[in-house]
């Protein structure tokens, strides 16, 4: 039983597999349950997002829930209201589920302690982005028919990536071998303790990989002095039509979006035959339906 979805870390393997099985079934056209039909889902997005918010909104609507979107520009945070006050006020209107995207790590866990609604983490700071990891794992399973024993290489800004962290938890629980690669300033200390094999060069990290997951390099990382320039990053840490050949011939390429074309990923790879990027997006709706069902059942 899953009350909230705050991250992948607290989930056991059985729960994880059950969610993916349910998402698969929905993805193959099985009719959704009416667990959240007629109930209210609030998408509380305190950080810019188009893809994830839209995906959650479509997922909720396909479950026939009433969806309310509260985004940063309309929220009270700019008027100085605290996150807890905002959350409590929304909760007073009795939604079944609050889907929260927030820039501070741990904020969904904090909110969950103070509201009646179920809380789904739609990305918190640099902590977790559990539905992204679920949709990534689901897409890998669809393509590779398994996860156990696969080598998955995650390339890019590992330090600031909640996607990398959630995937490290999920892929680890499901038995994959996970490599992380990037420039050393973007490799956090102690990432090995999360089960990652660490590389500071792209080519050896790609060698023999079944899955290549490329992360977005945010432009503000340059001002933070983590890397010298987009040019240098792209040249030495970008994935392109040349170095991708180090991976297995049938390796798939993934990206959580949005892509900086020509920076972390070249267009020929992003749009090439290995790319499953749009399939990730499609599967994302199914996964979020499975998640909303699962948490709503307990509310």
For another protein, the closer CB: 158 or 296? 158
110 in contact with another protein (CB under 8 A): yes
Minimum CB separation of residue 98 from another protein in Å reads: 15
Count CA atoms within 13 Å of residue 243 on its CB side: 20
For another protein, the closer CB: 182 or 188? 188
For another protein, the closer CB: 84 or 297? 84
Minimum CB separation of residue 113 from another protein in Å reads: 10
For another protein, the closer CB: 192 or 268? 192
Minimum CB separation of residue 141 from another protein in Å reads: 25
Residue numbers 39-98 binding another protein by CB under 8 A: 82-84
Torsional class of 252: left (φ above 0), alpha (ψ -120 to 50), beta (otherwise): beta
4 in contact with another protein (CB under 8 A): no
Q: Which of 78, 145, 148, 193 binds another protein (CB under 8 A)?
A: 193
162 in contact with another protein (CB under 8 A): yes
195 in contact with another protein (CB under 8 A): no
Minimum CB separation of residue 193 from another protein in Å reads: 4
Number of shown-chain residues binding another protein (CB under 8 A): 24
- Of the ranges 32-40, 126-134, 263-271, 273-281, which one interacts with another protein (CB under 8 A)? 126-134
108: closest CA among 91, 124, 130, 126? 124
Minimum CB separation of residue 230 from another protein in Å reads: 22
Q: Which of 125, 185, 208, 257 binds another protein (CB under 8 A)?
A: 125
Return d(Cα 13, Cα 2) in angstroms, integer. Answer: 13
157 in contact with another protein (CB under 8 A): no
Q: Which of 33, 75, 104, 299 binds another protein (CB under 8 A)?
A: 104
Find the length of the chain: 299
For another protein, the closer CB: 72 or 207? 72
Contacts with another protein by CB under 8 A lie at: 9, 82-84, 102, 104-107, 109-110, 124-128, 162, 165, 188-191, 193-194
């Amino acid at each position: 039983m899953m009350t909230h979805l705050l991250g992948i870390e607290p989930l056991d393997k059985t729960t994880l597999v059950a969610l993916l099985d349910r998402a698969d079934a929905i993805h193959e056209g099985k009719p959704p349950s009416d667990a959240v039909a007629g109930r209210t889902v609030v998408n509380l997005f305190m950080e810019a997002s188009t893809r994830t918010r839209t995906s959650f909104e479509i997922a909720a609507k396909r479950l026939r829930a009433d969806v309310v979107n509260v985004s940063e520009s309309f929220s009270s945070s700019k008027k100085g209201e605290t996150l807890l006050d905002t959350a409590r006020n929304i909760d007073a209107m009795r939604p079944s589920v609050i889907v929260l995207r927030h820039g501070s790590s741990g904020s969904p866990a904090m909110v969950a302690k103070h509201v009646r609604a179920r809380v789904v983490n739609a990305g918190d700071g640099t902590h977790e982005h559990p539905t992204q990891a679920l949709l990534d794992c689901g897409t890998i399973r669809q393509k590779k028919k398994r996860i156990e024993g696969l080598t998955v290489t995650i390339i890019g800004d590992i330090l600031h990536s909640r996607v990398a962290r959630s995937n490290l938890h999920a892929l680890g629980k499901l038995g994959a071998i996970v490599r992380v690669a990037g420039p050393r300033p973007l490799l956090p200390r102690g990432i090995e303790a999360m089960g990652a094999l660490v590389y500071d060069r792209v080519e050896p990290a790609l060698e023999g990989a079944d899955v290549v997951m490329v992360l977005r390099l945010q432009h503000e990382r340059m001002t933070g002095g983590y890397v010298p320039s987009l040019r240098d990053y792209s040249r030495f840490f970008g994935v392109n039509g040349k170095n991708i050949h180090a991976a297995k011939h049938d390796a798939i390429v993934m990206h959580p979006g949005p892509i900086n074309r020509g920076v972390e990923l070249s267009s020929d790879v992003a749009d090439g035959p290995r790319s499953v990027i749009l399939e990730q997006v499609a599967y994302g709706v199914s996964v979020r339906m499975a998640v909303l069902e699962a948490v709503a059942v307990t509310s």
